């Protein structure tokens, strides 16, 4: 869900003020459209991200920024002549910063240059952002924000090993990141796993405009750092993937045992949501089905050993195979035969899940995947994706190209009781109580016989706002209901 795998806290961009300082007085002021501080949580959905064209800015790809201030001043003039005022300001800031470092000025700082890089990062101009972040780190190798955001850029570009190195470097430097400090803001400590993906996407749930977000990379922090944290009102455990949380279980338990404030989504509740526990978790609930699943810890020594795993779990072919701690269909493969599964599994070195595949097509031949979000065990409809393919994702289902799909989704969002029926909604209410998370959700379908087939149930469910002027803007009022419910829940817990 967090592609870069971190929890960075990039600085709010100050280019409006910087432009006034560095641009000629006759030039018009220009500001980058930044609204909030984030790094690994994309402000748009995956469909939007995939649709964005690659950077077309010349002169940045694969190159290192010059350490010569005069070179940047010359580039500023070139960019200004080309009509790119933002780039001109960026190069002037670089020149000013390099001057300060060359003179060993006591106030020399990369802060403004880091703001430039973050501005481009937030605009998804990753090629340019990388160029400036690398200059920042050349001048000051200890800027955690630059390391974090550069790691996110590299991970997005499938440069995994380099991304991991910068991520490691970032969290060795800094573990606590604070966003927002307005008087009267609720102060929420967010427990995060910095070294990998697996955190609950919380941008919408905990807007930095109303919450002071204290993000704590607890997997990198020593136990004594727990006692040195800024004051907070409550804790939200964002380490929502049970596979990611498992190695941290003792560390998290120790934190909770010593924490005097309420903890939302406590680690022991998260631990029950591993995929191979889902069937037993919901066992006995009327009108609820879960396909059998087994956790494959190591590559089986032989075909017969792999077959024995499946037989013991009651799994027949076809089989869905996926690496552990992955979401969004990453690495998910449908194996139609024992030979296909054996070939897939032999290529994997990590823990995997093997799940029986259920053909869940509706009568019209389409596959439907619904998402319900639970806030304090209460269900809220979030989306419906309809696809001709068994692997259903909103961004690949071409929802926006088919008005009838959007209309069916609107009916579900507006009144799920009417769209799905009281029997289904009664089953969903029971699922929410059994799941027993302060925040979580399920992806599911409704089978022809009226039963609910759960695909997954955990805390890592994404809920985010769409662009107000986009085709999917109809979803935003329903997202707001989820956010409002989360705020009410926090208010209740903060009062205790």
Candidates 3.30.70.1170, 3.30.470.20, 3.40.367.20, 1.10.600.10; CATH matching 367-494: 3.30.470.20
- Does domain 292-356 fall into CATH 3.30.1490.20? yes
Q: Under DSSP, is residue 378 helix (H, G, I), strand (E, B) or coil?
A: strand
Express each pLDDT in 17-40 by its tens digit.
Answer: 444 444 443 332 222 222 223 333
Q: How many residues does the chain have?
A: 496
- Within the chain, what is the greatest distance between any pair of CA atoms? 78
Mean pLDDT of 61-87: 91
The yes or no reply on domain 176-271 and CATH 3.40.50 is yes
Who has greater pLDDT, 185 or 369? 369
The pLDDT score that the predictor gives to residue 393 is 87
Omega of the bond leading into 80 within 30 degrees of 0 (cis): no
**CA quadruple 241, 192, 373, 52: dihedral positive or negative?**
negative
Task: Specify the pTM.
Answer: 0.80
**CA-based R_g, the chain, Å:** 24
Place of tokens 């995947």: 369
pLDDT at 371 (0 to 100): 97
Averaged pLDDT for residues 308-312: 90
- Backbone dihedral region for residue 5 (phi beyond 0: left; psi -120 to 50: alpha; all else: beta): left
Rounded Cα distance between 465 and 480, Å, is 8
Fold of 15-173: 1.25.40
Delimit the domains of the chain by residue range. 15-173, 176-271, 292-356, 367-494
Residue 173 has pLDDT above 90, yes or no: yes
Residue 387, strand partner residues:
367
Tens-place pLDDT, residues 359-387:
999 999 999 999 999 999 999 999 999 99
Which residues are bridge partners to 355 per DSSP? 293, 320
User: Which region, left, alpha or beta, applies to residue 160 given φ > 0 means left and ψ of -120 to 50 means alpha?
Assistant: alpha
Give 472-491 pLDDT, tens digit per residue. Answer: 999 999 999 999 999 999 99
């Amino acid at each position: 869900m967090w592609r870069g795998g971190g929890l960075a806290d990039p600085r709010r961009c100050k280019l409006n003020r910087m432009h006034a300082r560095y641009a000629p007085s006759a030039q018009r002021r220009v500001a980058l459209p930044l609204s909030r501080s984030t790094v690994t949580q994309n402000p748009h959905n995956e469909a939007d991200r995939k649709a964005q064209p690659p950077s077309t800015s010349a002169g940045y790809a694969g190159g290192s920024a010059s350490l010569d201030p005069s070179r940047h001043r010359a580039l500023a003039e070139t960019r200004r002549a080309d009509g790119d005022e933002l780039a001109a300001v960026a190069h002037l800031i670089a020149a000013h910063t390099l001057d300060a470092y060359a003179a060993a000025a006591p106030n020399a700082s990369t802060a403004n240059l880091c703001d430039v890089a973050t501005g481009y990062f937030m605009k998804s101009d990753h090629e340019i952002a990388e160029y400036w972040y690398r200059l920042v780190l050349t001048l000051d190798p200890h800027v955690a924000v630059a390391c974090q955001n550069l790691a996110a850029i590299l991970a997005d570009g499938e440069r995994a090993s380099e991304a991991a190195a910068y991520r490691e470097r970032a969290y060795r430097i800094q573990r606590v990141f604070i966003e927002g400090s307005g008087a009267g803001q609720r102060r929420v400590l967010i427990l995060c796993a910095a070294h990998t993906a697996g955190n609950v996407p919380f941008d919408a749930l905990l807007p930095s405009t109303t919450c002071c977000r204290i993000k704590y990379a607890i997997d990198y922090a020593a136990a004594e750092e727990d006692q040195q944290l800024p004051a907070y009102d409550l804790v939200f455990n964002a380490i929502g993937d049970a596979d990611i949380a498992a190695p941290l279980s003792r560390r998290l338990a120790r934190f909770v045992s010593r924490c005097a404030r309420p903890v939302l989504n406590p680690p022991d509740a998260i631990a029950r949501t591993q995929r191979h526990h889902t069937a037993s978790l919901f066992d006995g609930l009327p009108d609820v089905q879960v396909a059998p699943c087994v956790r494959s810890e190591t590559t089986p020594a032989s075909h017969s050993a792999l077959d024995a795993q499946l037989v013991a779990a009651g799994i027949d072919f076809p089989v869905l195979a996926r690496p552990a701690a992955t979401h969004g269909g990453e690495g998910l493969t449908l194996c139609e035969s024992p030979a296909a599964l054996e070939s897939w599994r032999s290529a994997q070195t990590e823990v995997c899940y093997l799940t029986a595949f259920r053909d869940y097509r509706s009568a019209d031949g389409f596959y439907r995947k619904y998402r319900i979000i639970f806030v304090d065990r209460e269900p809220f409809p979030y989306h419906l994706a309809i696809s001709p393919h068994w692997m259903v994702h909103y961004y690949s289902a071409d929802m926006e190209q088919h008005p009838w799909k959007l209309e069916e989704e609107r009916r579900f969002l507006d009144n799920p009781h009417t769209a799905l029926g009281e029997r289904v909604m009664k089953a969903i209410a029971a699922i929410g109580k059994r799941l027993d998370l302060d925040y979580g959700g399920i992806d599911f379908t409704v089978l022809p016989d009226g039963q609910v087939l759960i695909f997954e149930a955990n805390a890592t469910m994404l809920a985010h706002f769409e662009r107000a002027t986009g085709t999917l803007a109809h979803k935003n009022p329903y997202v707001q209901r989820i956010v409002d419910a989360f705020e009410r829940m926090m208010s209740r817990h903060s009062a205790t």
